[in-house]
Chains A and B, each alone.
Chain A
Amino acid sequence: MANHEIVIAGFGGQGLLFSGKVLAYAGLLEGRELSWLPSYGPEMRGGTANCNVILSDTPIGSPIVEKPDVLMVMNTPSLDKFEDTVVPGGKIFIDSTMITRKVNRTDVEVYYVPATAMALEKGLTGLANMILTGALLEKTHCIKDESLDAALHKVVPAKKPELFDTNMNAVVLGREYVK
């Protein structure tokens, strides 16, 4: 499979690290090389938060993503910060409820998904991250479709198994939106 360097960014609390973990666990289950690096500290408590995920078939050097080929953003400061770092031909996934401006770049593929509004409408409050993740999975195929189930089981807290279905519903919504 192709190698991917992914940046997921937004406000702390939007579930960005969670989305990154789903990709990371899928990579683990597929026996690939991977790294997951979160921002940490006060950033995590309401400021901008991000995580870097690398999926690769060869040993990973730096876990810090300098030039992502996939960017998923859920607030404007994150788009401002990372837009120019995306490699030409890369893909940007935008929560267009939270980010009203358009991407300035013309050499990248952009997917605008009103994830936060969709989550509210479908009773999936707090799962805009997974709707956008669904769009990301549909368009990048960075993990195998069959890995998602098992990965999500690893990441959803064991004490709240009911969250598995809602997360999966959110992913499907996002997939359908960009199909």
Chain B
Amino acid sequence: MSEKVLMKGNEALAEAAIIAGCRHYFGYPITPQTEVAAYMAKRMPKIGGTFLQAESEIAAINMVYGAASTGHRAMTSSSSPGISLKCEGISYLAGADLPALIINVQRGGPGLGGIQPGQSDYFLATRGPGHGDFHVLVFAPSGVQEMADLTLKAFDLAEKYRMPSMILADGTMGQMMEPVVLPEPQESHNDLSWAVTGTNMEREHNIVNSLYLQPQDLEDMNNQRFARYAEIEKKEAMWEEFMMEDAEICVVSYGITARIARNAINEARKQGIKVGMIRPITLWPFPKAPLAAAADKVKHFVCVELNMGQMKEDVELAISCKKPVDLCYRVGGMIPSPTEVLEAIKKAM
């Protein structure tokens, strides 16, 4: 195991992408993710990779489409308003069944919003960011170590299932430093025979495309894609349980708010309140099974997030509304304190 180093979340993520074999980064600056681009600008030329600051977010995502078509690991990063611009390109990536990594270090919205941390792109990420029926894999890191580890996971699963992955972080995750053990490179066994790499006149040519003018063909493509999504929902959901063994109240939270909730839960336990947490690590696929199981044991759920209750809907769906679900939130770049979360837990008693 390599030693612990101190890195910002944005930098650990960028280095992890390089460890994952990514040699094609296309981006455009925006706070609070700019360190990802800055890091790539420094590192890529030294390792024979490509760093390109595009003329816009839309250009960058379409460059990702081009690089991904050749079977190479490609990525872009941005923050909320920039991700809105990329949505067209993400839809095309999904429609062409291309793997790629999109980083969203979220800030408060809508519109230009602010630059302080947010989680208000939850719907945008989990419902398919763009037009058409599709999903992207969505990972929600809750610390610098996960910023690194989930980047490798996101590249691997994107390739395995031939679809885009998104790391849905927030300003705090991007900016904070914590000790991190950089992950080891993993061997990849993913099938890349679909890539357009030149036939050498030795095989049929591959086509990467999202245009299907025959409705039956397009319906078939959608059905095939959703068959894969069903498999992913069964196999790939990730979550962490914290103090759930005897919990009567279940907090559900991800990213920075899960860290804050942890403080509140520790304090509540000192006061004799039986509370635990289920922390989704993947937001799509959403960890429905552990929540459904918890619904038979706990009395109350409390969602903590930096939006007006977007994940709360997924929790209610996962537990078939069997138990009440409260919401503890701040928006606009404001962040709830552990005291505020503790109050919400007490209210649910």
> Could you tell me the distance between the alpha carbons of A126 and B287 in the complex, rounded to whole angstroms?
51
Are B335 and A40 closer than 8 Å at their CB atoms? no
Are B115 and A41 closer than 8 Å at their CB atoms? yes
Question: Could you say which of A35, A36, A42, A61 has the most chain B C-beta atoms within 10 Å of its C-beta?
Answer: A61
Residues of chain A lying within 8 A (CB to CB) of residue B84: none
Residues of chain A lying within 8 A (CB to CB) of residue B179: 28, 33-34
A25-B6 contact, Cβ under 8 Å, with A61-B260, A62-B338: yes
> Could you tell me the distance between the alpha carbons of A35 and B262 in the complex, rounded to whole angstroms?
15
Are B338 and A28 closer than 8 Å at their CB atoms? no
Mark B306-349 against chain A: 1 for CB-CB distance below 8 A, else 0.
Answer: 00000000000000000000000000000101110000000000
* New A-B pairs, 10, CB < 8 Å, besides A36-B6, A61-B263: A21-B177, A24-B6, A28-B5, A33-B179, A40-B171, A41-B31, A41-B116, A61-B259, A61-B262, A63-B259
Mark A26-55 against chain B: 1 for CB-CB distance below 8 A, else 0.
Answer: 001001011111101110000000000000
A64 within 8 A of B: yes
Residues of chain A lying within 8 A (CB to CB) of residue B256: 62-63
**Which parts of A6-38 form the interface with B (CB within 8 Å)?**
21, 24-25, 28, 31, 33-38
Q: Which listed residue (B4, B32, B260, B261) contacts A64, Cβ 8 A?
A: B260
B289 within 8 A of A: no
Are B4 and A63 closer than 8 Å at their CB atoms? no
**Nearest B residue to A58, CB-CB:** B266
Residues of chain B lying within 8 A (CB to CB) of residue A40: 31-32, 115, 171, 175
Are A35 and B115 closer than 8 Å at their CB atoms? no
> Could you tell me the distance between the alpha carbons of A40 and B179 in the complex, rounded to whole angstroms?
20
A107 within 8 A of B: no
A176 within 8 A of B: no
Residues of chain B lying within 8 A (CB to CB) of residue A33: 179
Are A35 and B263 closer than 8 Å at their CB atoms? no
Main SS class of interface, A: mixed
* Cβ of A32 to closest chain B Cβ, rounded Å: 9
Are A36 and B177 closer than 8 Å at their CB atoms? yes
A-B contact pairs, 7 of them (CB 8 A): A28-B6, A28-B179, A33-B179, A35-B178, A61-B259, A66-B338, A154-B6
Are A61 and B266 closer than 8 Å at their CB atoms? yes
A66-B176 contact, Cβ under 8 Å, with A41-B115, A61-B259: no
Q: Which 3 A-B pairs have the closest CB atoms?
A: A61-B262, A61-B263, A36-B177
Q: Which listed residue (B32, B259, B261) contacts A41, Cβ 8 A?
A: B32
Residues of chain B lying within 8 A (CB to CB) of residue A31: 4
B106 within 8 A of A: no
Are A38 and B175 closer than 8 Å at their CB atoms? yes
> Could you tell me the distance between the alpha carbons of A60 and B116 in the complex, rounded to whole angstroms?
21
**Nearest A residue to B340, CB-CB:** A66
B62 within 8 A of A: no
> Could you tell me the distance between the alpha carbons of A43 and B85 in the complex, rounded to whole angstroms?
26
> Could you tell me the distance between the alpha carbons of A28 and B6 in the complex, rounded to whole angstroms?
7
A66-B339 contact, Cβ under 8 Å, with A35-B177, A36-B176: yes
Residues of chain B lying within 8 A (CB to CB) of residue A61: 259-263, 266, 338
* Cβ of A20 to closest chain B Cβ, rounded Å: 9
Residues of chain A lying within 8 A (CB to CB) of residue B175: 37-38, 40
> Could you tell me the distance between the alpha carbons of A154 and B7 in the complex, rounded to whole angstroms?
12
Are A64 and B6 closer than 8 Å at their CB atoms? no
* Cβ of B212 to closest chain A Cβ, rounded Å: 44
* Cβ of B277 to closest chain A Cβ, rounded Å: 11
Residues of chain B lying within 8 A (CB to CB) of residue A35: 176-178
**Nearest A residue to B260, CB-CB:** A62
Are A37 and B176 closer than 8 Å at their CB atoms? yes
